[in-house]
């Protein structure tokens, strides 16, 4: 019983790998199920035993890529309290984890364009974006608590803003290599504005303190 399950898991992973490369190379709309199967060395039957549609395949690919990135970021954000500047450390660590290659950016952008023209795809993409926001929100809350910093804005709002900034900069990298020059300072500005000042430094001076 365990062996067939393992074989199916391997098949799904290979289909996802083939889909990632095929969608990046040909575009989501242009690529066919046959193209994905051909790249992965599978028959149509193997595809349809795991996925009903290309959109369902993309959904699985989205979950896999998101899971991998969130795991990397979670690990890198451990121990922020030991850093002299937790905000800068968080930005530098996260940037080292974000994908800088064009492949996933191309695929995600292609599907976003597809979703703009197909309501069912737009609904699917929105569901998975909400999943992303939920995971990033939890990550921010845990990182802030671990680093001993207090947020001045809701973690959910910050999560959506960070995701929008990262998506926008990633899109720019498709035509020009500008990520390091733009994303790091932008994230630093965003996070410094989102972190509340320590209560001791934010407390207004009393009259006696002002006279000294």
pTM of the predicted protein model:
0.81
Work out the pLDDT band at 101, boundaries 50, 70, 90: low
CATH 1.10.357.10 fits 55-196, yes or no: yes
Cβ distance 24 to 102 under 8 Å? yes
Position with higher pLDDT, 183 vs 54:
54
pLDDT of residue 69: 86
| pLDDT above 70 (res 199) | no
What is the domain partition of the chain in residue ranges?
Answer: 1-51, 55-196
Q: Where is average pLDDT lowest: 59-68, 157-166, 178-187, 195-204?
A: 195-204
Q: Which residues pair with 144 in a beta bridge?
A: none
Q: Which of 186, 184, 191, 187 is nearest to 151 (CA)?
A: 191
Tell me, what's the pLDDT at 4? 64
Percent above pLDDT 70 for the chain: 87
Higher-confidence position of 54 and 100: 54
Helix (H/G/I), strand (E/B), else coil: 17 = helix
Burial of 210 (0-12, 13-18, 19+ CB in 10 A): exposed
Task: Return the structure tokens found at 199.
Answer: 């209560």
Angstrom distance (rounded) from CA 124 to CA 59:
8
Distance CA 40, CA 31 (A): 13
CATH match for 1-51 among 1.10.10.60, 3.90.170.10, 3.40.109.10, 3.40.50.150: 1.10.10.60
The 10s digit of each residue's pLDDT in 7-30 is 888 899 999 999 999 999 999 999
């Amino acid at each position: 019983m365990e062996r067939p399950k393992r074989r199916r898991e391997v098949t799904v992973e290979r289909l996802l790998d083939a889909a990632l490369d095929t969608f990046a190379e040909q575009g989501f709309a242009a690529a066919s199920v046959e193209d994905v199967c051909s790249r992965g060395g599978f028959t149509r039957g193997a595809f349809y035993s795991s996925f009903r549609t290309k959109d369902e395949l993309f959904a699985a690919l989205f979950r896999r890529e998101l899971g991998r990135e969130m795991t990397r970021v979670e690990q890198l954000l451990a121990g922020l309290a030991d850093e002299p500047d937790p905000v800068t450390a968080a930005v530098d660590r996260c940037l080292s984890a974000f994908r800088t290659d064009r492949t996933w950016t191309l695929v995600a952008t292609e599907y976003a364009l597809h979703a703009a023209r197909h309501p069912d795809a737009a609904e699917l993409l929105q569901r998975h974006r909400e999943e992303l926001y939920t995971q990033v929100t939890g990550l921010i809350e845990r990182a802030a608590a671990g680093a001993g910093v207090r947020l001045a804005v809701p973690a959910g709002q910050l999560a959506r803003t960070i995701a929008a900034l990262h998506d926008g900069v990633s899109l720019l990298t498709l035509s020009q290599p500008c990520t390091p020059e733009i994303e790091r300072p932008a994230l630093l500005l965003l996070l410094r504005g989102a972190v509340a000042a320590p209560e001791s430094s934010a407390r207004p001076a009393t009259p006696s303190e002002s006279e000294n």
